[in-house]
Structures are given as C-alpha cells and as structure tokens.
Structure 1
C-alpha cells in the first residue's frame, strides 16, 4: 500500500514568479544541509558506540538499521501528512520531530543504554523522513520539469556540504574528546550529549523560521497537462509506472551502498594494511568521501544541462564499480583513496534517480515521492548485510556488496529510467 496524493506539477511553476522560486529554493537548501549533517554524524557514532559498548559490526550497524529503517516505516505516514498539511507545514512538523530525537540522546547517554540510543535515532530519522518526503518533490516542482534533475542536484549539493562538515564536528566533539578523556564507558557515551543538544536547538530555530516563511502555494489539485507523453493522465496509482518502480530499487541500492561505505570508512582506514590510524584521525578523512559528493553535485548540475541525466548516472555508477574493485584488490594509500573517491561518483546519483523516477507522474508525484522514500530503507539493510560479511571475512573484502548495488544503477541510468507504464490486467 502506498500513499496517494494529487499535488500539481506544471501549475506550481506557472503560478509563481521566478523570484518566488529563487527564494523558496534558497530557503530549502538549509534543510538539505541539516539532514545531510545529521545523517553523516552516524559515521562518527558507529565507531564511537562500537568501542563504548564493545559491539560487533552487526550490532554497531543497528545504528543505520534503526535510522534508515524509519524511512521504510514512516514514509507512508509522512506522505499522508504532506497530503493533508501541505509541503511547508510538513517541513515544520518534520523539523520538530527531528529535534525531539536529538534531545533523546541526552538521557540515552546518561543511562549508558545502547537501546535508548537506537530509539532516539529512530525518532530523529522519522523527522528527517518527513523532511525528505516534503522537500524533495517540492524542489522538483519549483521550475520547469525538464530541469528538475539539475535543480534537485544543486540543492542536494548543500546536503553534501552538510555531510562534509559533519565529520569534523563529530571528530572534534565526540571522538577526540573521548580519546583525551580516557575515562569509563559512561563518560565516553556522554560525549554525544552536547553535539545533539546543539543540533536540536538548530532544528527548532529552523522550524520557527519555516513556520513564518511565505513559500509558493501547493494546495491546488490539478494534473499536469503538459508532462511528457501524457503519462500522468492515466488513472490509478504511481505503482503503474515501471520507471518509478525501478527507480525505487535504484534508490534502495544507491542509499544502501553510499551509507554502507561511509559507515565502514573509519574502521577501514584504521586497519594496519590500509593506513593504521586512530579513530579520531581516520575520521578526518571522511570529509573527502562526502566532499567529493558535494563537488560532484555542483559539477553535475551543470553537466546535466547538456548531457542526458541517465547517461551521466550510468557513467558515474560504472566508475564507482571500478574504484571499489581497486579498493578490494589493493592496500595502503591506493585502497584508501580509491574508496574515498567513490564519493565523487555518488554525487549526482540520489537526486538524479529521484527526479528520473518522478518524470511524468503528474498528480501521482507525492505518492511517487513516498514510494521512493520507502526505498531509502536500503540504508538500513545493505550496511547490516555488509557488517555480517565484515565480521566473517574482514572489512576490505566486504566491499564486494556495494559493487552489486552500483551495477543495478548502471542498468537504471542507461535503460530502466525511461518513462513507461506498467501493463496491469
């Protein structure tokens, strides 16, 4: 079952001036930055809590399982909220829920209880899910359909800016303070309290700001009459669109691969045959992975004005497969920098898959967005699977799993993303 909705596409960018769209897009970039920042902090939490609670890789990856599992469980309710309340109010509610989740880290650390940490992460991710369901399609609708991929890629670049800055923030306030303290586990757990209270404050400030902003009205219930091939005129649901269904699989694979690689970077770089660095030092290399995605998104936004988005997506996925293969079969600096460069390949993947999958959905756009956000559960499943292989065969060899994810993305970019309706008897 998927959430249904009837948000407009063409009517939105016809009824508002370019000035309004520019202001709305500028405002929305702050959201992309914040949820990128918060999501990337998980890459710091994993090695930190793994050491604090003496966890296996599988147990440590429950952090990503709970965080991204929220996307699967909460995307449909989030879609219903957006349908009833609209994009802007959905954003405000999402920010408040995320702030509550951040505040949950304080009692979790005080109690020194890993399970409470996981509950707080789930609440936090539930708020982020609502932000994703509301903001991603909103950006797609703020302009001409043919430039949706470029527009969403540009805003996602600020998401990558958040993921680039977050490791420095986390390494300084969490890993380095813990290493310097050399204290008992309870004190080490409390190192996360200040960072997440600060994040809660920022989220609540953003919620207040967005409650006062005047963003374009999206309440109209009109189909898009000018969308390519008239696919949106078909009665039914978004599940009829083959390119959307395959796009959901693509989102699952992409998010799973990206999150899984990021989750293992600190431990991988710390291995003796790679760089042999302490956690606090290895964390300083994570920004190269996420920073590559940021740079690539700014470049990709321009490239896709001239080259078909699907072709760019396929090329990037092929390069990711090559780089991960080098990582598996090499060591030292070559292995380390090969895996870090995968971030550059990741750059345009999420926004491109997202916008390609929504092409031609018209009045089913919000429903399609909910389906795609369900697929973000790949960030819960793939890291957990790779953790199993890391526990049994080592971190380096476990990177074979993301290769399969990127191979599917190659297929989607070059063939599966072409708009088509499923034939249902």
Structure 2
C-alpha cells in the first residue's frame, strides 16, 4: 500500500518542480525582448545592451555557493521557497525602475530576479536528478528542462506584444524636442510594468503552494556531517572529481552560447534578414523556441537508444558547423542556421549538468553549486559577442563566440562518452562473470 502512495508523492513533486523550470525559462526568455526595448529607450550600443545578460548571470556566479550551503543546512524545500521570494521581489522592482527611467535600476531588478533563479536552479536541478531511479537521471532532467524550452517558445511571442510597443519611429524621435522625446521613451519603457507585476503575483502563489507542499526527503538539509565540512574543503573535494571539473568548464561555455543565440536573435534577424522587431520576435518564439523545446523532447527520446554523452558530442559538432553558417550566410538561410542551433543545443544544459554530478555522492550539492556558478558564462560570452559585432560592424561575426563555445562542449562530450563507454564495459564484464 505504501508504494503507490510513494509513487504519487514523487509524481506530484516532479510536476511542481517542473513548474519552476517553466517559470524561470519564461522570465529568462523575456531578456531577448528587453534588450532591443532598453537599447532603444536608452540609446545603447550592442555591447552596452549586453549588460542585461551580465546583470543576470553575474548573480549566478555570486549566489550559487550560498545557495548550495543553504540546501545543506535548510533542505531543498526551504531553499526553493527562498528563491521564489527573491524572484518575486526582483519582478516587482521593475515598477520603480520603469517609473525612474534609470537603466541601472533595470539592471538591479534583473540582478535580484537572477539571484532568486540561481537559488531555484541550484536546488531544483539536483533534486529532479535524484527524484527517482539513478540510471534515468539524465532523461528525467531533460524532460523537466523541456518545459523550460516550452517557455522559450511562449515568452518571446507574448513578451513582444506586451513590451515591444509600436511607438514613434527613429526619424520621428529625432525630430522631437528633448523633453518630448524623453517623455515618449518613458511611456514606452513603462510597458514592462504590467508583465512583470503579473509574473511576481504568479511566483508568490507558487511559493505559497510550496510552503504547504510535502516534498519527498532526499537527504539534503540538516546533514550535520556535510555541514561540518569547511566550504573551501568541500569545493576542493568536488573539483577533484574530473566529471564535475569538466562540467563546470562546459557549462560556462554552453550558457554563454545559449545567451548569445537567444538574446541577440532579434538584433541578428533584423541585421541578417531585414526583419522588423515583432517579426523577429515571432521567429524567436515559433522558430528558435519551438525548435528548442522540440529538441529537448526529441533528445530525451533518443537517449533511450543513444548514450547521452555520445548524443551530446554529435549535437555539439552540428552546432559548431551551423555557427559558421550563421557568420557568413545571410537571409533566411542564416535564420534557418540559428534555429537549427536552437534545436541541437537544447539537450546541452541538462545533459552536462547530469553527467557532471553523476556518481558525485556526498559532493552532489557542492558540485551542483559549482556547475550553477559556471552559468556566469552567460555574462562573459555575450560581451565577447557584442565586442566582435561592434568592432567589425557586422553582428553576424559575433557568432564566432558561440562557435568557440560549441567546440569546448564537444571536448566535454568526448571525455564523458569515453567514461560512459568504460563504465558500460565494466558493467558488461561484471555481468558476464555472474552468468
């Protein structure tokens, strides 16, 4: 009688944690809408507009270790509730940011949102990995992350129509007096208040549900032995594991690549294919977003037949080639290449994460924190993208940054595939001995 109850408990916990994947995916994928919106409002260069991503992903670097320590002391549930409240606070701060018309205030609000997301991701990714059979951890995490991909489809389509309001043209703005132009841009900037207030309210409701929800205990929190280990020693011990060490490097470059592809897509599509911002946002949602979520579900299915590390290697090599196409080919072919990148990079984050903490044992929480810290690549690589674009006066050449990233991911995947092959051989040998 207890087994069905346990299964129901695990299933409901999986559903609730997966809702978090959707929510942080949704708010992350509003950033590509914010970048052209704020670039227009504050007359920013491509490099300056990349500070949106920097504000978000620096938070991952700063908050990941504290989040890991919080998991060890307070457990997964309390940690996730704390992350949700930070998330809601940052979303509400968009209201005073829009009222004051200060770019730095927008960056501050994004930073606080990202602090909440860091806490959530540090807790939710390993929790999903451990919530069931260990041999299905990669598939389980890819399935949960598929709803993150669904958010990547919906957010640009919805966000473009709520945030990218049809205002005065650039020529009309230039003909206005300074005071009228400032008032016009301020009115356009205020379009962010409604969407982010709605997000804050939804997050508060989810936090209340989590407060009353009984999650299956998976061993974190109140672990006196783990808590007694000094942080420096715990970090050093985790990094001595080759899988964690390589995953930290690979995740740094993967997140950098993903942010470059999604955050600059609207600017890229306008430059390479001459699309309007609304049309580019539709391509981002129905093209990149739909390709991303389809790739997640397809990748989860293919992992039943192809080892996860080997599939990751194949996808990384394809993305490297498509990045070259995005650099040198224009028109609809360039958009097709970028949409192809979105499909093939879809499995990378959860696969790198799950492979990194596989068999990590007591280093799972610290390994998770270190891998989440490496998400700071999303702050660094877009600056490289922006610098190359500004220096060459060609936004397409910025794709040299994602190309480099996918080469590094291919290196990680090759090493992980060799480990998987070795473990499979050992398992096979052991099985033969028992026949």
**What's the TM-score, normalizing by structure 1?**
0.89
Distance in 1 between residues matched to 2:41 and 2:308, nearest whole Å: 44
Q: Cα gap change, 1:248/1:16 in structure 2, threshold over 3 Å: closer, same or farther?
A: farther
User: Partner of 2:309 in structure 1?
Assistant: 310
Listed as ranges, the gaps of 5+ residues in structure 1 are 1-13, 224-233, 421-425
Contact 1:176–1:280, Cα closer than 8 Å, also in 2: no
Ranges of 4+ aligned residues in structure 1 off by more than 4 Å: 177-183, 220-223, 416-420
Q: Cα gap change, 1:263/1:18 in structure 2, threshold over 3 Å: closer, same or farther?
A: same
Instruction: Map 1:12-411; keep pairs closer than 5 Å.
Output: 17-178=6-167, 184-219=184-219, 221=223, 237-271=237-271, 274-287=272-285, 288-393=287-392, 394-411=394-411
Q: Cα gap change, 1:315/1:179 in structure 2, threshold over 3 Å: closer, same or farther?
A: farther
- Count the aligned residue pairs: 395
1:17 Cα deviation after fit? 2.8
Distance in 1 between residues matched to 2:166 and 2:238, nearest whole Å: 49
User: Partner of 2:430 in structure 1?
Assistant: none
* C-alpha distance after superposition, 1:395-414 (max 9, x if no partner): 11111111111011111112
Higher helix share: 2
Contact 1:71–1:377, Cα closer than 8 Å, also in 2: yes
1:193 Cα deviation after fit? 0.7
Contact 1:96–1:207, Cα closer than 8 Å, also in 2: yes
**What's the TM-score, normalizing by structure 2?**
0.87
1:275 Cα deviation after fit? 2.2
Instruction: Map 1:407-422; keep pairs closer than 5 Å.
Output: 407-416=407-416
1:335 Cα deviation after fit? 0.9
Q: Cα gap change, 1:87/1:16 in structure 2, threshold over 3 Å: closer, same or farther?
A: farther
Distance in 2 between residues matched to 1:261 and 1:33, nearest whole Å: 19
* C-alpha distance after superposition, 1:15-43 (max 9, x if no partner): 98332221111111100000000001000
Contact 1:246–1:417, Cα closer than 8 Å, also in 2: no
RMSD: 2.2
Name the SS of the counterpart of 1:237 in structure 2. Answer: helix
Distance in 2 between residues matched to 1:418 and 1:201, nearest whole Å: 47
- The structure whose Rg is larger is 2
Q: Cα gap change, 1:84/1:396 in structure 2, threshold over 3 Å: closer, same or farther?
A: same
1:284 Cα deviation after fit? 1.0
User: Partner of 2:428 in structure 1?
Assistant: none
Name the SS of the counterpart of 2:43 in structure 1. Answer: coil
Contact 1:359–1:419, Cα closer than 8 Å, also in 2: no
Contact 1:16–1:216, Cα closer than 8 Å, also in 2: no
Contact 2:91–2:113, Cα closer than 8 Å, also in 1: yes
